[in-house]
Amino acid sequence: MRNSCSDQSFIRVYITEAKEVFEFRNGQINETHRYIFAYGECLALLAEDWETEDTHLIKQLEVDLHNTGKAIWSEFRMVHNPFFYVLAMTLLSHPYSDRGVYAAITSFCEQLKRIRADARVLLSDCLSTKTDMISRRYIELWNTDALTLPHIRFERIPMHALDHSGSSVIADANYSCYMGICMELGAVCYPRTVQELYDFLKFIYLRRAVRFKRCRLCGKLFAAVDGERTEYCRRKYSGKKACRDIGAARVYQKKILSNPITRAYNRAYKTHNARIRYGTMTREEFQTWVAEAKRLRDVCQSGNISLDCFEEWLKQ
């Protein structure tokens, strides 16, 4: 369990109503690194988003060890996957010259690979909207292996986590004190292994019966905690706005543009609209054309005239 001494390193994880909070205390430099995710987001990202980045970080750590004989802490500050806090804590406990460092990295990679595979099955099968009995499906998974959570404490945690994700802060001696923040009693995990951290998240998901869906826009898994009608995740789409912000409009646009009749109408609409700017068509003439084009578009959609006939009219 956590040691109160200032030079101790440990991981602290807790779940609020809407957030997953991961904190890693680096006792050697008296610094805490924190990542905050939306509820249900961490395992979805672990299963489908972080693998390439994780592989790159491991290779960089091995290069650091080969060149300098030590793992560079700055590398861990850049990581998005909080499971790497377990590796960071393990490496801090090894002397820089200890050959056990390489064994620790190899063991971590094997554990991470195993839980990533399990998470993919868990989220896409056990916790999907197609599964009627989440609890029963969990029991089927764990019928041979008992779930043990040895490093759980109940502490005062903020009801709404402060969103300082990715921040580095000087460690406070009392992690349960937040000025002006409403507090509640909650389970806090101090994991020592990848498996303990993963089991804690699985335990929380089971207790709250969280459901997962595939985003209608990007196709990736996400926790549908905002209601059964939620169809889009919070990931950034093409590095811009979140799927949730643009999903419905994009899906509708894709649906419309997949229709050849609509595509033909949209092309002709843009061409005729440009004629207003060029002075070859008045706005009144354009509005008259739009009305007739829409009528013929609907007639074509109903099958009363062919697409070729409609496109021939549009070219006139």
Annotate 195-235 with DSSP letters as a single string: HHHHHHHHHHHHHHT--EEE-TTT--EEE-TT-TT----SS
My answer on whether 200 and 138 are in the same domain is yes
My answer on whether 42 and 130 are in the same domain is yes
Q: Please check whether residue 218 lies inside any domain of the structure.
A: no
My answer on whether 168 and 61 are in the same domain is yes
The letter for the amino acid at 290 is V
My answer on whether 278 and 169 are in the same domain is no
My answer on whether 30 and 132 are in the same domain is yes
My answer on whether 145 and 291 are in the same domain is no
Question: Whole-angstrom Cα distance, residue 266 to residue 23?
Answer: 52
Which of 210, 242, 276 is a domain's end point?
A: 210
Q: Please check whether residue 147 lies inside any domain of the structure.
A: yes
Q: Please check whether residue 298 lies inside any domain of the structure.
A: yes
State the pLDDT at residue 115.
93
My answer on whether 200 and 279 are in the same domain is no
Q: Please check whether residue 20 lies inside any domain of the structure.
A: yes
Quick one: which H or E segment has residue 265? helix 260-278
State the pLDDT at residue 122.
82
Q: Please check whether residue 5 lies inside any domain of the structure.
A: no
My answer on whether 90 and 204 are in the same domain is yes
The letter for the amino acid at 84 is F
- 33 in helix, strand or coil? strand
Number of domains comprising the chain: 2
pLDDT, one tens digit for every residue, the chain (316 residues) = 444 444 588 899 998 877 889 988 888 778 888 888 888 889 999 998 899 989 988 888 888 777 776 666 667 777 789 999 898 888 877 666 566 778 888 899 999 999 999 898 888 776 776 666 666 666 665 666 666 677 888 888 876 655 555 444 433 434 444 555 677 788 899 999 999 999 899 888 877 777 888 888 788 888 887 665 678 887 777 767 778 776 566 666 666 667 888 888 888 888 888 888 888 888 888 888 888 888 888 888 888 888 888 888 888 7
My answer on whether 166 and 31 are in the same domain is yes
State the pLDDT at residue 144.
60
Q: Please check whether residue 105 lies inside any domain of the structure.
A: yes
My answer on whether 143 and 281 are in the same domain is no
Q: Please check whether residue 254 lies inside any domain of the structure.
A: no
Which of 180, 210, 240 is a domain's end point?
A: 210
My answer on whether 185 and 304 are in the same domain is no
Q: Please check whether residue 232 lies inside any domain of the structure.
A: no
- 251 in helix, strand or coil? helix
Spatial contact of 105 and 63, defined as CB atoms under 8 Å apart: no
State the pLDDT at residue 141.
58
Domain that holds residue 269: 259-315
Spatial contact of 43 and 223, defined as CB atoms under 8 Å apart: no
My answer on whether 27 and 170 are in the same domain is yes
State the pLDDT at residue 6.
46
Which of 147, 176, 210 is a domain's end point?
A: 210
